[in-house]
Structure 1
Amino acid sequence: MLTDAQIEGFITDGFVRIEQAFPRATADAGRAILWRATGRDPDDPRTWTEPVIRLGEHGEEPFRAAATAPALVEAFDQLVGAGRWLPRISLGTFPIRFPSERSAGDDGWHVDASLPGEDYTDFLTWRVNVRSEGRALLMLFLFSDVSAADAPTRIRVGSHTRLSGVLAPHGAAGLPIGGPEMQAAYADTADLPEVAATGRAGDVYLCHPFLVHAAQRHRGDRPKFMAQPPLLPREPCVLDRPDGAYSPVEQAIRRGLSATTP
């Protein structure tokens, strides 16, 4: 599925976009389910009163079909390693973003956490460690067309390799994603190029778990529907394989570590 150039781009940039990973008809069917779950009227913008509505896991057929799309299954093997990830049969969570003059208050730069923190209910205490325990990939499933005006996820290109060196000294415990060290790490990626995760319904972005990204306010006309689930690993990344059979996810972490080694 992925070419050598795409895999190298993933290692270097931290993400790869798979165009039409699942059919538009599947996206349309999933979006209809999500509209009902929001309790809002797709034909009446007066009911779009919040800048974002978050929906949990959905396992109906359109979401199962998207999660198990053959193109994605092959890409998972290429990026994470055959047998090193757990199959998904559902998708979630869904941040449904509506056109709004108000900020949702969730547009800060961050990485997604993998491990529960001291307070399970406080997401900012959740943690991430250098072996990315609990997360093999961050994934962005587009269930609607997303233009530059439709609140595309912002991505800092290459930020994932910088996070490796920040996390390494903290071992298996890792760091809380909302703590001062991680906040400083996010700030230190401000010089990197920024791209927007635009695309068509059915496109999927497969992202390195350490990729620094952020939401933004919706300035378009139609709500944005996207799933942002993790791909779960069977085991944490292994960064010292005797056979050298490192996955691209592991290669990116090792590249970041080598860049920070004196």
Structure 2
Amino acid sequence: MPTGNHSGLSGAQIDHFINQGYLKLEDAFDAELAHQGQAELWTAMGLSPDRPDEWSRPVVRLGFMTGPAFAAAANTPRLHDAYDALVGEGRWLEPTGLGTFPVRFPSSDDPGDAGWHVDMSFDTDHPDFMQWRINLMSRGRALLMLFLFSDVGPDDAPTRIRKGSHAEIARSLLPHGEHGLTLRELSADGFAATAACGEALATGPAGTVYLCHPFLVHAAQPHRGTRPRFMAQPALLPRDGFDPTLPPSPVQQAIRKACGLAF
């Protein structure tokens, strides 16, 4: 396992990513960019931070945002170094913005989307999202990322993370080769193999980014706080497919460790 410094990440950080499936980076982008992004998101929703009586839904979903604040937040030098360290230099595409944004509001209503899941990465043009697919090589996705555009505490609907769950998903995908599994197939047992995993909450001040293994099992939850939670959950896209001639990245090392593979 890695022990030295990797493009600004310590060996301990790399090991945590490989073993637990995620890495928390505070101050990954400037709080002023988060403030600018929030302003754009309020406008896009047609809502106001000063009119809480209009916050009538537990969650409002916004798509991919390409404004300057979002592109800048996704492409700070610190994040570029981290992308290089986890995915491999030259193996990812520079983000042109951020999204999607599930903006969560304080509410006693069930948001309707709080189940455990893994984000699928290919065949995502299928009209039935349960038919979207994922495979052992994580075709179409280099990382899952969580960008906090507001301060997020334990009551502010932080994303729930099952620590180490990426290893169980890798083992589930192993027999299915390039074809992989659909979300319906992968979730048939409710991700029972990951139920014993410890849980972490994606909390932190605005400007925090969680860089997650693409196989990480995670879930939303209701908002029990007082102020809306703003977060982007984009993929970092790979530049090309898996290349066995290149040294394995930490993303690939995590899969190898889980499955005992030598690819």
CA contact (8 A) 2:116 2:190 kept: no
The offset of 1:242, in angstroms, is 5.4
Percent identity, aligned pairs only, is 54
For 1:233, the equivalent position in structure 2 comes to 238
SS of the counterpart of 2:214? coil
Map 1:205-216 onto structure 2 (within 5 A).
205-216=210-221
For 1:126, the equivalent position in structure 2 comes to 132
Which of the numbers 154, 158, 161 marks the counterpart of 2:160? 154
Q: In 2, Cα distance between the equivalents of 1:242 and 1:40?
A: 51
Map 1:57-96 onto structure 2 (within 5 A).
57-96=64-103
SS of the counterpart of 1:138? strand
SS of the counterpart of 2:60? strand
The offset of 1:183, in angstroms, is 3.3
Cα deviation 1:118-138 (Å, max 9, x = unaligned)? x72222211100000000000
For 2:5, the equivalent position in structure 1 comes to none
For 2:46, the equivalent position in structure 1 comes to 39
TM-score, normalised to structure 1's length?
0.94
Q: In 1, Cα distance between the equivalents of 2:145 and 2:138?
A: 15
The offset of 1:235, in angstroms, is 2.3
The offset of 1:257, in angstroms, is 0.6
SS of the counterpart of 1:183? coil
CA contact (8 A) 2:169 2:215 kept: yes
For 2:249, the equivalent position in structure 1 comes to 247
Which of the numbers 184, 196, 199 marks the counterpart of 1:194? 199
For 1:49, the equivalent position in structure 2 comes to 56
For 1:26, the equivalent position in structure 2 comes to 33
Letter matched to residue 42 of structure 1 = P
SS of the counterpart of 2:17? helix
Structure 2: unaligned runs, 5 residues or longer: 1-7
Q: In 2, Cα distance between the equivalents of 1:34 and 1:144?
A: 12
Letter matched to residue 196 of structure 1 = L
Letter matched to residue 198 of structure 1 = T
Structure 1: unaligned runs, 5 residues or longer: none
Q: In 1, Cα distance between the equivalents of 2:212 and 2:51?
A: 34
Residue 112, structure 1, aligned to residue 119, structure 2? yes
The count of corresponding residues between Structure 1 and Structure 2 is: 254
TM-score, normalised to structure 2's length?
0.93
Letter matched to residue 246 of structure 1 = P
Q: RMSD of the alignment, in Å? A: 1.4
Cα deviation 1:57-87 (Å, max 9, x = unaligned)? 1111100110111100000000000011111
Cα deviation 1:73-104 (Å, max 9, x = unaligned)? 00000000001111112111000000000111
Which of the numbers 136, 139, 144 marks the counterpart of 2:145? 139
For 1:17, the equivalent position in structure 2 comes to 24
Cα deviation 1:224-253 (Å, max 9, x = unaligned)? 000000000122345xx356x110000000
For 1:224, the equivalent position in structure 2 comes to 229
Letter matched to residue 82 of structure 1 = E
Map 1:174-189 onto structure 2 (within 5 A).
174-179=180-185, 181-184=186-189, 186-189=191-194
Letter matched to residue 190 of structure 1 = A
Letter matched to residue 13 of structure 1 = Q
For 1:164, the equivalent position in structure 2 comes to 170
Residue 256, structure 1, aligned to residue 262, structure 2? no
SS of the counterpart of 2:194? coil
